[in-house]
Amino acid sequence: MFQYVLRRLLQSIPIFFGITLFSYVLMAAAGNPVAQLVFRPGVPAEERARLEIQLGVNDPFHVQYLRWLTGDDWMRRDTDGDGFADQCVVLACDADGDGQNEQPGERRGIIRGDFGLSFTRNRPVSDIFWERVPATLELGFASLILGTVLGISAGILAAVTKGRWFDNVTRVFAVALTALPIFWFAIMLLLLFAVQLRWFPIGDRCRLSLDDSCPPIWERWNYMVLPVIVLSVGAVAGYSRLMRASMLDIIHQDYIRTANAKGLSSRLVWFKHAARNALIPVATSLGPAITALLGGAVVTERIFNYPGLGLTSLTALSQRDYPVVMAFTIYAAIANILGYLLSDILYGLIDPRIRFN
């Protein structure tokens, strides 16, 4: 198992760097962010040029990419022996556009956890990112657990009661929930439960305290109910249909007939022997589900004004705040790679016949 995981992680390294290069190419093709940041009419060309130099967007593409990826401290050298790099080797150090070289702030690159400064907020992207991660993770994990448990349970019961009312109702609801647009469903829930009935708050993550911090989850669970429902309906519909089809195939196998012939209880046969083998297709979809929840959180967080990564990245995208957008892209790429690795590991945990050789 350890060797397999290590091999998969090593194989993910070129994939990761390929994603960074492709994402940076798309970002560069989107245009110069200075035109979006300086939108006042009559701005002198000198001020635009100075801002471009400060942001480093007028450097050659390969220089920008290497600086974003690996930092710029290795591009300078210590010329006076004081232990600090004070002369540029590759990059131009004219940070204010006055024709004189200065010592810019060092950048360590994304491979060392430094995503630079936000164009619009003038704060380290890493600080913004880690402030928003808990909000997205609490929604993602809550909806993943709820959707997986309800979907698998509904799929098993639908297969066991094939042709009965529960099976028919489950299939109809699964198709209907799959066809529902996320944004429309979220707006309908808000209008019904937040505006009309006033059972839940209309949005946000919590009622901020004096120090702008949120209390623990158990004290603000009402803020999470509607967003979690929106994010979990797709998982419930997908897993119920997938589990039903897998269970119907498993319960007609010879070993299931043998277990029934031995006099084992139906509950033991369904949930221990059949359900465990039927979970293998579900494990295949768990990896993409992690990334899908992240993508769905963008729309959900925007509608419910939930201050997570989705809302932050959408705002940064509209403002062309490229460092924040790229940080979100890297986060999604890592989540996708680890999600598929988790799916492969679950194979061996669910089915002991699978060996990682």
Percent of the chain clearing pLDDT 70 (strictly above): 75
Neighbours of 217 (CB within 10 A): 13
For every residue of 197-264, DSSP letters joined together read S--S-SSSSS---TTS----GGGSHHHHHHHHHHHHHHHHHHHHHHHHHHHHHHTTSHHHHHHHHTT-
Please compute the mean of the pLDDT values over residues 330-338 and round it to a whole number. 81
Q: What is the pLDDT of residues 98-127, one digit of tens each?
A: 444 444 456 677 877 778 778 777 788 888
pLDDT for 99 equals 47
Confidence of residue 332 (pLDDT cuts 50, 70, 90): confident
The pLDDT tens digits for 153-207 are 888 888 888 888 888 888 888 888 888 888 888 888 888 888 888 888 887 877 7
State residue 354's pLDDT score. 64
CA dist 164 and 160 (Å) reads 9
pLDDT of residue 37: 59
| Mean pLDDT across 247-259 | 80
88 CB-contact burial (10 Å; exposed 0-12 / middle 13-18 / buried 19+): middle
Residues 6+ apart with CB under 8 A from 94: 53, 100, 101, 102
Cβ proximity of 204 and 306 under 8 Å: yes
Model confidence, pTM: 0.73
Across 221-249, average pLDDT: 86
CA 38/CA 26 separation, integer angstroms = 22
Write the CATH number of the domain with boundaries 125-350: 1.10.3720.10
Over its C-alpha atoms, the chain yields an Rg (Å, rounded) of 26
Q: Under a CB-based contact definition with an 8 Å cutoff, are residues 114 and 126 in contact?
A: yes
Q: Measuring CA to CA, which residue among 172, 291, 335, 342 is closest to residue 241?
A: 172
d(CA 246, CA 159): 9
CB under 8 Å to 207, separation ≥6 — which residues? 201, 220
- pLDDT score of 156: 85
CA–CA distances in Å: residue 281 to residues 243, 267, 276, 346: 8, 21, 11, 10
Domain boundaries, given as residue ranges, for the chain: 34-112, 125-350
